[in-house]
Amino acid sequence: MALKRFTRLLWATSLSISLVTGQSIEQNTEEAITYLTGTKSGTIPFNGATPTGTYQTFSSKITLATTSLPTSLGVLTANYTETDLVTTLTGSVTSSVATTSTNGTASSTVSTPPRPTNTRPCNNYPELCERKYSNITEVGCHNSPFVRAGSAAANQQYNVTDQLNDGIRFLQGQIQFPVNGTQPHFCHTSCDLFDAGPITDWLGKVREWVSAHPYDVVTILLGNGNYSNPDLYVPWIERSGILQYIYTPPVIPMALEDWPTLAQMILTGQRVVMFLDYNANATAYPWLQDEFSAMWETPFDPLDDTFPCTVQRPPDLPEDQAKNRLYLMNHNLNAEVSLLGQSILVPAVSALNTTNAASGKGSLGMAAANCRDQWTRPPNVLNVDYYNYGDYPGSVFEVAARMNNVTFVKRPCCGSTSAGFRPVQGVERGLGLGLVLGWGVWMLVG
């Protein structure tokens, strides 16, 4: 029965691919194996290599003067009290605002009124309110926008609203321009492979969630898939309305001590941090921060389930500089598959329960602990595929709590209802293999 289900699923996956690309695929089935043959009719590229581009360097810090946002968050007065059901965060921020005039620089005091009552402020842990943004670990959704049932190119099961509701506070996605398109979309390698729609739609949903959750800080990492000038993205980002919550750094590049606390960001309303991996223009758009001058990453598209915690991007980063930046731990395991005489990289779907587990060989918990020991501080981002999988639903959040040294609060997870969660085993392992082979067919005969 499992084999029949697998065969039908594999054929359905490859058939859907053929309908999209116009390729010819035939199915030849024997008792114990399914062969797929086809003809190449497309030019969809597969690029398993690590993305690269121009890495920005700064010989000294640059102060960003502004007339609308504080150059220094000044002195914070914040108090929070917790009852059985509700935590209330109150306070104000005293800031010096730099303005340029013929008389030089003037200072003024700005007080922000208390925010409304909210349950579990500061990203679900009130203990994090007084910590700097740079001293907090969050679970990240690798390729957050890429959600589609049965698609081999998907990286997440639930949409961005569910992701945020479940506790995700770091979102990453790659921007591309569709062929002959004028509006940027979230696309997986190529918009012909997986087009998740205009970036304004996804960013608009994030803005709606941020607006409804005034005590949370969310980070967005945009991948510049076309290596385009940010001038082409900024109007569309502005159109989403999310810039009303954007955080603008006081200096570039940002070192660990330069970051404010979560409470400061919350009380000043600057609760969305946004990075661009390549070609950022900090002088024109200081809020769209260059990722790699503030953050480094462990190996991209990892194949090794020991997950070495080494600096891959930016390359040749001195250790002393690495220790003074944020860092992102890529923990989305891939598998190298040989299909029709070619090797390709695909998500290791059948290993998700192990990869996203709180402990054990190859687990998120193991890798995060190794990084913490090696760099004397935990990763800032645990970047995962299918965060809802693990040794139990939401085990990735237990790992983040452990890295933050706070008592784990187990919340309902995952998606609109947690009842739909099932471990990857039995027939589900067939699903994982089917998606792997479906991906391979797409890449090789697409």
CA gap 228, 27 in Å, rounded = 41
Spot the catalytic one: 185, 188, 213, 331: 188
The pLDDT assigned to 75 comes to 44
66 has a pLDDT exceeding 60: no
Full-model pTM: 0.78
| Cα dihedral 192/279/236/205 (nearest 10) | 80
Token couple for 307? 């997950």
Respond yes or no: is residue 331 known to be catalytic: no
Mean pLDDT of 162-191: 94
Amino acid at 325: R
The pLDDT assigned to 184 comes to 97
CA gap 90, 108 in Å, rounded = 22
316 Cβ contact list (under 8 Å, min separation 6) = none
- Residue-wise pLDDT tens digits, 366-424: 999 999 999 999 999 999 999 999 999 999 999 999 999 999 999 889 997 543 333 33
Task: Give the number of C-alpha atoms closer than 13 A to the C-alpha of residue 337, restricted to the C-beta side.
Answer: 21
**DSSP label at 77?**
E
Residue that has been written with the tokens 């001058």 in this structure: 293
The pLDDT assigned to 115 comes to 46
The pLDDT assigned to 253 comes to 94
CA gap 89, 277 in Å, rounded = 34
> Considering only 23-32, 80-89, 194-203, 266-275, which range has the smallest mean pLDDT?
23-32
- Residue-wise pLDDT tens digits, 324-348: 999 999 999 987 766 556 666 667 8
